[in-house]
Each structure stands twice: as C-alpha cells, then as structure tokens.
Amino acid sequence: MPQKLLFVCLGNICRSPSAEGIMNHLLQQEQLTHEYQCDSAGTSSYHIGASPDRRMAAAGLRQGIVLTGNSRQVEPEDFAEFDLILAMDRQNYRDLVAMNPDEQYADKIHMMCDFCSNFADKEVPDPYYGGPSGFDYVIDLLLDACSGLLDHLHKS
C-alpha cells in the first residue's frame, strides 16, 4: 500500500499543486511511483475546481515539471486517509491544526520547508500577487523541499 502525501496551501492553485507535481516528478525519476501517492488541497474554498495557476504551470514547465489537477478543499477525512500532510506556510499549518481539534492526527501535519536542505526559508511564499520571479523561486524552493522529503521518507 503506497504512503499517501497531501500538500496544502491556501487556494490549491499555486504552491500545493506545484509541490504535488514536483514530488510526482521526483518519484518518476527514482521509479518510486508505486511507493507513494500524492495529492494537494487548499484550506480555503476560493478556487475549487480550478486548474493550477497558468504562471505557476509555466514556471514548472521551465524546470520540466507538469502541473495537473483541479483545486479542492481539505476535507475532514483527509486526516485519516493521508500519512503526511505538508503545509506551505504557518497560516496553512494553523488552519490544519484547527481542523483537527482532538489532535488525533497532529503527528501527520508538518511544514514543507522543514525538509529543505539548501534554502533557509521557513515558509513557501505565496507568489500569486507577485511577478514571474516569485513563481520560479517557489519551484526552486519546492524542488529542494521535495528532495529533502523524499530523503526523509527513505530513511524512515
């Protein structure tokens, strides 16, 4: 049974679908797609059903990464279904903790940047209101974080 990873940001159109796409890309490169299953979701309902932001998708393609899927909101059953839930920023983390009031699944919720090895960032910045360089930066940051996450999963 594959280990299930859920990447979470606010609207599920920039950061979390990028993390999902990057992780799937790395898993394909390492021939580990049978060991892990990735998904992404948002803490808000702002963009339900939307495809990844076109600027984010373009930044991913510049690195050879294809972003797919449609935005969805985190659901209560996600906490039981997923083995790891990875928040892009502190507010996403706080929102996830609040959705899990009995703390039954607290050990599953982590900050994405905790797995970075080359970047010192503590949060994945939201590039939505910025220029193209912000989207490229998020892809680079998430490549680092996803690589670190994959290393962590292999050691555990």
CA separation, residue 49 to residues 36, 41, 54, 63, 72 (Å): 24, 11, 14, 25, 6
For residue 66, the domain's CATH number is 3.40.50.2300
Of 15, 39, 95, 146, the active-site residue reads: 15
- Its domain, for residue 107, covers 3-155
Return the pLDDT at 101.
75
The answer to whether 126 is a known catalytic residue is: yes
Q: pLDDT digits over 58-72, tens only?
A: 999 999 999 999 999
Q: Are 53 and 60 in contact (CB under 8 A)?
A: no
What is the domain count for the chain?
Answer: 1
Please give the structure tokens belonging to residue 106: 């607290």
DSSP class of residue 58?
A: H
The answer to whether 15 is a known catalytic residue is: yes
Q: Please give the model's pTM, rounded to 2 decimal places.
A: 0.97
Query: Residue with structure tokens 């979390």?
Result: 16
Is pLDDT above 80 for 156?
A: no
Return the pLDDT at 75.
96
Q: pLDDT digits over 105-138, tens only?
A: 999 999 999 999 999 999 999 999 988 999 999 9
Of 89, 95, 126, 144, the active-site residue reads: 126
How much is the average pLDDT of 20-34?
Answer: 97
